Chains A and B, each alone.
Chain A
Amino acid sequence: MLELFQYDFMIYAFLAGIIVAILASITGSFIVLRRYSLITETLAHSALVGVAVGLLTGTSALWMAVIVALLSAWLIEYLRSYFNIYSDSILAIFLSGSLALAVVLVSVAGEFNASLFSYLFGSILSVTLEDLIVMSIFGSIALFLLLGFYKELYFIAYDEEVAKVSGIKVKALNFLLVSITAIIVALSIRVVGTLLIGALMVIPTVAALQYKMGFGKTIVLSTLFALFSVIVGILLSYFYSIPSGATIVLVVLFLFILSLIVNRR
């Protein structure tokens, strides 16, 4: 198996996968506990608009995905905070709206082809060095902010009102969390694809929650689940020539089902 690492693309694939697994599972823990899981799906579709813009203009699809996902996250959070619309309705509107826009843009670009397919379902073996650099830069910023505001985000997830009363800037941190989520979702599309990133953010945490531990341990277990799924998923993807996104999600799903069975009452 070691011969795998003779190839640069394999090394890039594993590095990209590891970055995504760590970031997606940590961010996912906060998102799941906030009952905000659906935002990951929505932002993934917004990221697809970015990909379409990239394909249309010949610019970096990954950069564009990050930018569009960020703008979309801010708009969602703004609408949620300042207008009287239910959160899940906003998410549903953005999800289908983004997909529609992406389809129009891709079709204008004449790019309904394998390249688009790789963004939808993940094609980790096509990760380039440039992708990896973009992922490392944004990934480090996201990780830095997540660790820096870990305790604040945890408090807000537990009890937003009491956190606010204690003097924590809840609104600003909510913006921060959706921004980080947007960045990570966009970065992950190479690895798991837009249609499947939601699973990598949500399922490891939900699986870890079944073990009924404190938050610190839950987040560590969730990250381990995500890492395991990504590594095993990439190997399966390589050996059986299946899109990496699908194999990764099936592995994490397997871990989830196993966790349910182990912890059944």
Chain B
Amino acid sequence: MKFDAPVIEVKNLNLTLNHQNILEDISFLVKKGDYIALIGPNGGGKTTLMRLLLGLEKKTSGNIALFGKTQRKFSAWHKIGYVPQRVTQVDINFPATVLEVVKMGRTALRGFFTKESDEDRQAVYEAMRKMDVLDLSERLIGSLSGGQRQRAMIARALASKPELLILDEPNTGVDVVSQQRFYALLKELNTKDQLSIIFVTHDVGVIGDDIGRLFTVNQNLVTCNDPKEALSCSQMSELYGIDAHLVHNHHHDH
């Protein structure tokens, strides 16, 4: 069997801003096919940690390796699909159809002045099919509901055929029914396509049974490999007071 380099390997990562430790001595490993929920209080550094991984912030010290390469040398950014926090709050007047938005996902892979190839078209079609937005293709992104827009943004991330999907609180402004549909789609991507997923959220309850591992970040990071036993990960409950019963509370309505 071929050896797969870890998707992400972080060692002793530190971030200090204005003499304040934002993230301290963070180490973790993400393997192919992992489905990780990253939780923690607001201001605890969840988003900052993701931004560090994506090269949008500069670390103070430590090592980040992506797909077996140090972050500095890493160039295959198409392997990472990123859906930022504010997907549901895009400028509603921006002139973009769903198809135009999803095609953006292929931009970096296509070169200067190249025409769209069959492979590009196929990848865009597949991404839209998986996220069930084919029938919205010509709709303006600003005219969609929160749930539809969320799926369109993930389709854009999928269009580059990533191996890792990073979703930063993608649920803001999305109704419960759409959320459940969305989790089902994510689970499918994770199990069928072996896509590694990092899901940043403050509400771990709804994804509950789907996720494989739970990371909690509040300046430090604690990993828990079986989220169903979050309580027995004693540090976690001690440090963050996680309401662990939520973890089992799958597909609840509230």
- Measuring CB to CB, which residues of chain A are less than 8 angstroms from any residue of chain B? 33, 147-149, 151-152, 154-155, 158-159, 161-168, 209, 212-218
Contact = CB atoms under 8 A, between A and B. Distances in A.
B250 interface: no
B82 A151 contact: no
Query: Size class of B's contact patch?
Result: 20 to 34
B96 interface: yes
Given A147-B113, A159-B84, A165-B54, A214 B77 contact: no
Given A165-B80, A214-B138, A155 B96 contact: no
Interface in B135-177: 138, 140, 142, 156, 160
A80 B112 CA distance: 26
A152 B112 CA distance: 9
Nearest to B160: A166
B56 interface: yes
B214 to A, nearest CB: 24
Contacts of A165: 54-56, 77, 80, 82
Q: Which 9 A-B pairs have the closest CB atoms?
A: A167-B77, A214-B97, A167-B108, A218-B95, A166-B108, A155-B104, A148-B113, A165-B82, A215-B95
11 contacts: A148-B112, A149-B112, A162-B104, A164-B56, A165-B77, A166-B77, A166-B160, A209-B95, A214-B140, A215-B95, A215-B100
Interface in B90-149: 90, 93-97, 99-101, 103-105, 107-108, 110, 112-113, 138, 140, 142
Contacts, number: 77
Nearest to B92: A212
Contacts of A149: 112
A165 B97 CA distance: 22
A214 B100 contact: yes
Nearest to A149: B112
Contacts of B112: 148-149
A209 B93 contact: yes
Interface of B: 54-56, 75-78, 80, 82, 84, 90, 93-97, 99-101, 103-105, 107-108, 110, 112-113, 138, 140, 142, 156, 160
A37 to B, nearest CB: 14
Contacts of B93: 209, 212
Contacts of A33: 94-95
B56 A155 contact: no
Given A164-B56, A214-B138, A151 B105 contact: no
Given A162-B104, A166-B78, A215-B97, 10 more contacts: A161-B56, A161-B84, A163-B107, A163-B108, A164-B55, A166-B105, A166-B107, A166-B160, A212-B142, A215-B100
A155 B99 CA distance: 13
Most buried by B among A154, A158, A161, A168: A158
A70 B248 CA distance: 61
A173 to B, nearest CB: 11
A212 B99 CA distance: 15
B96 A215 contact: yes
A214 B103 contact: no
A218 B100 CA distance: 12
A239 to B, nearest CB: 35
Contacts of B96: 158, 214-215
B199 to A, nearest CB: 17
